[in-house]
Structure 1
Amino acid sequence: MVTYQYRCAACGDVDVRRPMGAATSHVPCPRCGADARRVYTSPRTRLVAPGLVSALDTAGASAENPQVVRREVAPRAPRHAHPLHARLPRP
């Protein structure tokens, strides 16, 4: 379901949830029943998780100014959740 925004002359902005692509240019206002016209707005990007916004900003910044690696990090041996996995034969 997508939230579409409409503007009623009497009530102001009205949000209507409909399936994607099912929006019409006019709907009856849910408050007063008058004709409400569809308003085209930008996507609601403020509802994105802050962690995702931070990760996207970091990825965008590193694309133009990559961080310089000063030392090599040695790979760690994989840890197993069950202690008996450590006794299994290794290739």
Structure 2
Amino acid sequence: MRKTAVIGLRVPESVKAEWQQAAGGPRRLSDWIRESAEARRLGHVASLKDDLRALRAEINRLGSTVNQWAHMGHMGQAVDAAAVEAAYREMREAVRRALG
């Protein structure tokens, strides 16, 4: 099928980087996006993939928070121990859900 229509898409740089990694590199990104959208349109995308994607995003968010705290600690700033413990519990729960 000949591709003639162009669709512009704006996403955060972090999303672009994740998509490029999933696609296997920047040159394959448009193919990956097209294939992913078409699979969803045809109903070939299982809800499990969406669940796992959401869990991965949650774990990434928590990991980013932990990295920020580590940076603060290295800079000599105080880090709330209760917040660290809560994030650790959230991360363990997210991993538990991901593993079933």
TM-score normalized by structure 2?
A: 0.28
Structure with a larger share of its residues in strand: 1
Pick the structure with greater CA Rg: 1
Structure with a larger share of its residues in helix: 2
